[in-house]
Amino acid sequence: MKKRNVILSGLFLVGVVFVGSSLYASEDVASYIKGNHMKAIHAMGIEVEDQKLENMATITDENGKKWVFNEFTKSTNLIEIMREKYEEDVAGPFISVQDEIMQEYAKPGDSIPTILLDETLKEGYFAFIREDGEALSFKIKYDNGSWEYELEK
């Protein structure tokens, strides 16, 4: 009976350590992703304090300008809002410009891209961080039926 209790106590302790380390690891991943988004925002030339970064959240830069934040892999709501807000097709070309940037510049190991758009959702930035820490930032703007982009140096 004592041997069984010792074994059960040992298994419980191993389970607690495993669950604790898994929670700790997931917090590190979330912090790492947020850190990459903050680096990308800084690379865009936008200074923001450590704000909560959630999709479709409005963040305010040091000049008081408001930006809509989005993570590339979770931009479905952003695209739907573009479709609802404008009669013209802003969303389709927006998807295309993201694809064009990724096809030309993305490499394995790059971070999940960060998207910041102004309140009109027709101008902003698309950026990601390379595995070596280099930031690539693209100014994007909707004009006359298409989105244009320019790599910022």
Task: Rounding to the nearest 10 degrees, give the CA dihedral for residues 85, 91, 94, 95.
Answer: 150
Query: What was the pLDDT predicted at 55?
Result: 84
Q: Which strands, in side-by-side order, build the sheet including 135-143?
A: 58-60, 66-71, 114-118, 123-129, 135-143, 146-152
Secondary structure class of 93 (helix, strand, coil) = helix
Question: What's the CA gap between 74 and 89, in Å, rounded?
Answer: 20
Name 23's Cβ contacts closer than 8 Å, sequence gap at least 6.
Answer: none
- Tokens 């963040």 — which residue? 59
Task: Identify the pLDDT of residue 5.
Answer: 41
Per DSSP, 88 falls in state S
Q: State the DSSP H helix or E strand holding residue 151, giving kind and residue range, or none if neither.
A: strand 146-152
Instruction: Give start and end residues of each alpha helix (H) in the chain.
Output: 2-43, 76-85, 91-105
Structure tokens at 93: 């070309």
Q: What is the pTM of this model?
A: 0.76
Tokens of 54: 């959630």
> Total structural domains in the chain?
1
pLDDT tens, residue order, the chain (153 aa)? 444 443 333 333 333 333 333 333 445 777 888 888 888 888 887 877 666 778 888 888 888 889 999 999 999 999 999 999 999 999 999 999 999 999 999 999 999 999 999 999 999 999 999 999 999 999 999 999 999 999 997
SS3 106: coil
118, 65 Cβ separation under 8 angstroms: yes
Domain that holds residue 41: 2-152
Give the orientation angle of helix 76-85 with respect to helix 91-105, to 10 degrees: 140
